[in-house]
């Protein structure tokens, strides 16, 4: 008997009751704007910044409207200006090159490997050929490159690294939290990320001037002293009148929703990894399917699942997507000619000059991607693996 899956790939868990009550409390007092505070009140947004700084071990934290806004603000605050070249992954999602363009800079894409991380040999070559002094490193879909090796390359070349940690909140490389290797780390709290406020972002750094500029960019007016997770007021003296207000603040309502979730993040991360590992176990040794093996130094958090079918043709990949969809399994194919929904690739972003990435294109042609919401049980994950295994095996045997 053919089994089908009936779960919903876009249905997240409900918010914890503590988040709901915190949101109600903010709505009752009506002070949603982060700077609209009662006498002696610190505010939910400032408290979230303090708590997230402590969680990551950073000196400074800024809460903003989205992960993409955090990336653009970090880039501008790090000193990037109109026309500068910024390196980034050939495999990422649209908000990353979008943030580079938002800062007035030009993206140059670096090849990725079959482990879905940046190719460090191509990184060296692109640094040399482009003269770039900025790298916006995307930990795409939760896969972390060898950060020790990458930082060694960038430090020698004088390249500032900004980490896109939209998919790696709670993850680490060799014990160092994701987002803490470069000059700044940026995180998303959009609905499908590890903390859910619908939309939102967080920026962490140990650089006082970068933090001050990001705070001013976010739209602090002259209220920067209300940022308890920001640098000393004296740091703002030389930049407060020359840094534009590009309003992108987080509000107290979203911060109130996020703070209880942050306290439970480690538990949630373990639950995602249990689901990821269950599917990985079910797909191992499937003919025609290649898993993404994880290095020992990587402490990952996987709220999605990726696999490769490197020998499949475009017709077979399309057929796999259609056959699994008929059985209730939603796979996203990064080799499709046109962007679909959230899924796009470097040749979809026509505001960027077309670039030649043969290695990345070959890998994406065989790449499938699947969300793993925590509304799925471990038994659900077993069923998902069985369905994918059966359909890949049938197509592989048919040739």
pLDDT by residue (tens digit) across 104-155? Answer: 999 999 999 999 999 999 999 999 999 999 999 999 999 999 999 999 999 9
Round the CA-based radius of gyration of the chain to a whole number and report it: 21
* Torsional sign, CA 87, 92, 96, 100: positive
For 315-350, the pLDDT digits (tens) are: 999 999 999 999 999 999 999 888 888 888 899 999
Confidence band, pLDDT 50/70/90 cuts, at residue 1: low
Model pTM? 0.96
For 201-221, the pLDDT digits (tens) are: 999 999 999 999 999 999 999
Which residues, other chains included, contact 279 with Cβ-Cβ below 8 Å and sequence gap of 6+?
305, 372, 381, 384, 385
Note the helical H segments in the chain.
17-29, 44-56, 67-77, 95-102, 120-130, 147-157, 208-218, 252-263, 265-283, 314-326, 358-364, 378-398
Structure confidence at residue 340 (pLDDT):
87
Say which DSSP state 90 is in: S
Which residues, other chains included, contact 229 with Cβ-Cβ below 8 Å and sequence gap of 6+?
46, 49, 50, 52, 53, 60, 61, 62
In the block, tokens 């007016």 appear at 221
CB 182 within 8 A of CB 162: yes
In whole angstroms, give the CA distance from residue 259 to residue 165.
18
Question: Of 158-162, 297-301, 320-324, 346-350, which range is least confident?
Answer: 346-350
Q: Which helix (H) or strand (E) holds 219?
A: none
Domains of the chain: 17-263 (3.40.640.10), 265-398 (3.90.1150.10)
Which residues, other chains included, contact 197 with Cβ-Cβ below 8 Å and sequence gap of 6+?
189, 190, 254, 255, 257, 258
């Amino acid at each position: 008997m053919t089994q089908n899956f009936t779960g919903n790939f876009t249905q997240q868990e409900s918010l914890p009751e503590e988040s709901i009550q915190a949101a109600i409390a903010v709505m009752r007092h009506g002070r949603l704007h982060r700077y609209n505070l009662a006498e002696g009140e610190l505010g939910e947004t400032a408290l979230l910044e303090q708590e997230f700084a402590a969680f990551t071990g950073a000196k400074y934290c800024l809460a903003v409207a989205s992960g993409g806004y955090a990336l653009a603000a970090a880039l501008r605050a790090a000193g990037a200006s109109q026309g500068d070249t910024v390196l980034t992954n050939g495999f990422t999602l649209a908000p990353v090159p979008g943030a580079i363009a938002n800062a007035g800079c030009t993206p140059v894409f670096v090849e990725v490997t079959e482990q879905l991380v940046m190719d460090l040999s191509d990184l060296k070559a692109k640094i040399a050929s482009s003269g770039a002094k900025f790298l916006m490193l995307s930990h795409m879909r939760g896969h972390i490159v060898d950060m020790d090796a990458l930082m060694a390359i960038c430090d020698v070349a004088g390249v500032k690294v900004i980490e896109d940690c939209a998919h790696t909140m709670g993850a680490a490389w060799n014990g160092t939290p994701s987002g803490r290797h470069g000059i700044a780390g940026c995180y998303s709290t959009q609905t499908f990320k590890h903390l859910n406020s619908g939309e939102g972002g967080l920026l962490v750094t140990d650089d006082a001037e970068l933090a001050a500029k990001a705070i001013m960019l976010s739209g602090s007016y002259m209220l920067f002293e209300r940022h308890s997770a920001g640098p000393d007021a004296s740091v703002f003296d030389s930049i407060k009148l020359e840094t534009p207000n590009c309003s992108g603040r987080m509000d107290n309502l979203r911060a109130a929703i996020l703070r209880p979730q942050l306290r439970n993040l480690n538990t949630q991360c373990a639950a995602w990894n249990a689901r990821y590992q269950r599917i990985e176990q079910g797909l191992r040794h499937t003919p025609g399917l290649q898993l993404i093996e994880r290095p020992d130094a990587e402490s990952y958090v996987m709220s999605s699942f990726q696999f490769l079918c490197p020998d499949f043709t475009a017709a077979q990949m399309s057929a796999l997507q259609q056959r699994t969809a008929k059985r209730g399994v939603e796979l996203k194919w990064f080799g499709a000619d046109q962007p679909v929904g959230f899924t796009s690739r470097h040749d979809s972003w026509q505001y960027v000059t077309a670039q030649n990435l043969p290695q990345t294109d070959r890998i994406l042609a065989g790449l499938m991607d699947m969300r793993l919401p925590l509304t799925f049980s471990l038994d659900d994950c077993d069923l998902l693996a069985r369905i994918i295994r059966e359909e890949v095996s049938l197509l592989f045997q048919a040739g």
